[in-house]
Amino acid sequence: MSDHRYERVAVPASLIETLREKFGDRVSTAQAVLDHHGKDEGWHNASPPDAVVFATSTEEVAETVRLCAAHDVPIIPFGTGSSLEGHVAALKGGICIDVSKMDQILEIHNEDLDCRVQAGVTREQLNEHLRDTGLFFPIDPGANASIGGMTATRASGTNAVRYGTMRDNVLSLTVVTPDGKIIKTAHRARKSSAGYDLTRLFVGSEGTLGVITEIGLKLYGIPEAISAAVCAFPSVEAAVNTTIMTIQAGIPVARIELLDALQIRAVNAYSKMTYEEKPTLFFEFHGTEAGVKEQAEFVQSVAEEFGGEGFQWATRAEDRSKLWAARHKAYYAALQLEPGKRGMSTDVCVPISRLAEAIMETREDCDASILTCTMVGHVGDGNFHTLILLDPDKPEEVAEAHHLHERMVMRSLRLGGTCTGEHGIGYGKLAFMEAEHGPDTIAVMRAIKNAIDPKGLMNPGKLVPGA
Ligand SMILES: Cc1cc2nc3c(=O)[nH]c(=O)nc-3n(C[C@H](O)[C@H](O)[C@H](O)COP(=O)(O)OP(=O)(O)OC[C@H]3O[C@@H](n4cnc5c(N)ncnc54)[C@H](O)[C@@H]3O)c2cc1C
């Protein structure tokens, strides 16, 4: 899955010259810049573009796209490069459009709880900006990703169990289509029945249908009371069953995150924490003082029923930040268990009633493997990840990692789940698309891709098999 090879398109020197004339030193062909833009944070092979354009406006993106389209040159949008499935690799070469300089927060509408931002704004930047307004934006992938990239991957994170994913929180988009036109998919209304829902089509399109340049987002009031807690369990099964019962009881937890015992060891070492080395749930509750107390007491009693012990509470903001910072660094912590190895981070999502089965069988596979694997999960959504540590130069380790990965995905599909709950397809998971959706559904996806991008220039080799 890491070895897709395509013939590179010859990018005319005249195209790069024209881009330089227009954008000056915001066009780069420096090898370090190309390498950085041809590789995400995952373990897949790099494939650098031929040049990178650092755009500063929708018009500049449109101009770049029109020039590339005129020369039939591929275009790869780039946010912060934190994706994990080879999403930004320029498999056929071409021009990467980096939107990180498009970092303006354009409008905040406190009274309507929404905002409009340029695609390069990062989630931390947005929340920093909102700090004094009493509002926040909840979607929090572990990395400080761009809002454009999060939209393009339909990202989520620890808060999704309460606030949904990018699918639920994007109101409207400005998009540069593959022929260089600028379209708006919707206005600011919370709901609309006016025609095809193009916003949802572009959310999760991974740069294969156009370049997203502006995003309208929902915002939320910062809850009156927030409380977080950590609880260790005698087994992964006990932790998962606590999660299932909490969700089935309709408790509106804001976060419910599983870390297995090995992952806790990694977090303790990396973030200087002292959690018991046992399967552990991290919780967060949002609401009124009374509501939070009620939710927390219910969950504590469920956890105790399953043998959970030592609920540690974090009600002060700085303690909560420390706790969630440790959780967000779990990926880097796990990589340090075997320094020098690469991490295959896999992500599946199943209906909550099948979560125990999915996690337990995956844990058994991991325990029987020659490779070290940690497990973490946004388990309230039925979403979990395995990080498989491997040496890419050892074929037997690569083969074993693929074997574990494939079994995990096929198990998820058997249980009514998906091959990816949030990381997306890139080219790392392309091979599972047909198994998940079937040939007729893939044919519809291909027809959409061909209708919007008939020359196949937008991020080729990603998301839709054979497009
Ligand atoms: C430590 C770690 C933890 C993570 N945790 C989570 C998690 O909890 N939940 C989760 O969902 N993900 C997670 N991720 C994955 C990653 O952060 C998300 O996929 C994120 O949304 C990618 O955003 P980005 O700005 O880095 O996009 P990039 O990696 O730059 O791009 C991702 C894809 O989107 C396309 N794209 C980027 N910008 C645009 C644009 N403006 N217009 C059109 N297409 C665009 C690219 O072409 C590419 O296909 C994690 C990654 C890491 C490294």
Atom of ligand 1 nearest to the CA of 462: 49
As a whole number of angstroms, the distance between CA 190 and CA 140 comes to 22
DSSP 349: E
As a whole number of angstroms, the distance between CA 7 and CA 91 comes to 8
With a 6 Å cutoff on the Cβ, whether 94 touches ligand 1 is no
Q: Which residues of 27-39 are buried (b: 16+ CB within 10 A; e: fewer)?
A: bbeeeebbebbbb
| Residue appearing with tokens 């946010």 | 79
Residue 227 is inside which H or E element, if any?
A: strand 225-232
With a 6 Å cutoff on the Cβ, whether 102 touches ligand 1 is no
DSSP 71: T
CA of 410 to the centre of ligand 1 (A): 24
Atom of ligand 1 nearest to the CA of 157: 8
Residue 75 is inside which H or E element, if any?
A: strand 75-78
On whether the CB atoms of residues 169 and 425 are closer than 8 A, the answer is: no
Mean pLDDT confidence for 280-285 = 96
Nearest C-alpha neighbor of 248 from the set 169, 256, 231: 256
As a whole number of angstroms, the distance between CA 459 and CA 439 comes to 22
Global pTM?
0.96
**pLDDT at residue 28 tops 90:** yes
With a 6 Å cutoff on the Cβ, whether 141 touches ligand 1 is yes
Atom of ligand 1 nearest to the CA of 426: 49
Considering the chain, what is the average pLDDT of its residues?
Answer: 96
With a 6 Å cutoff on the Cβ, whether 162 touches ligand 1 is no
Sign of CA dihedral 113, 117, 119, 125: negative
Task: Give per-residue pLDDT as tens, 174-221.
Answer: 999 999 999 999 999 999 999 999 999 999 999 999 999 999 999 999
With a 6 Å cutoff on the Cβ, whether 459 touches ligand 1 is yes
Give me the pLDDT at residue 467, please. 84
DSSP 463: S
Kindly give the pairing relationship between strand 75-78 and strand 95-98.
Answer: parallel
As a whole number of angstroms, the distance between CA 7 and CA 423 comes to 26
Task: Give per-residue pLDDT as tens, 301-353.
Answer: 999 999 998 888 888 889 899 999 999 999 999 999 999 999 999 999 999 99
Atom of ligand 1 nearest to the CA of 150: 21
Atom of ligand 1 nearest to the CA of 330: 1
Give me the pLDDT at residue 2, please. 43
With a 6 Å cutoff on the Cβ, whether 163 touches ligand 1 is no
Who contacts 216 (Cβ-Cβ below 8 Å, separation ≥6)?
A: 114, 115, 116, 170, 171, 172, 173, 186, 188
CA of 435 to the centre of ligand 1 (A): 24
Nearest C-alpha neighbor of 206 from the set 460, 465, 466: 460
Task: Give per-residue pLDDT as tens, 66-125.
Answer: 999 999 999 999 999 999 999 999 999 999 999 999 999 999 999 999 999 999 999 999
As a whole number of angstroms, the distance between CA 298 and CA 293 comes to 9
CA of 142 to the centre of ligand 1 (A): 10
Give me the pLDDT at residue 310, please. 81
The band of 55, judged by pLDDT with boundaries at 50, 70 and 90, is: very high
CA of 307 to the centre of ligand 1 (A): 37
With a 6 Å cutoff on the Cβ, whether 211 touches ligand 1 is yes
As a whole number of angstroms, the distance between CA 184 and CA 189 comes to 13
CA of 150 to the centre of ligand 1 (A): 5
Who contacts 330 (Cβ-Cβ below 8 Å, separation ≥6)?
A: 142, 259, 263, 266, 267, 374, 376
Percent of the chain with pLDDT over 70: 99
With a 6 Å cutoff on the Cβ, whether 154 touches ligand 1 is no
Task: Give per-residue pLDDT as tens, 240-277.
Answer: 999 999 999 999 999 999 999 999 999 999 999 999 99
Give me the pLDDT at residue 314, please. 86
The band of 5, judged by pLDDT with boundaries at 50, 70 and 90, is: confident
SS (H, E, C) 106-125: EEEEHHHCEEEEECCCEHHH
As a whole number of angstroms, the distance between CA 26 and CA 434 comes to 39
Q: Which amino acid is at 444?
A: V
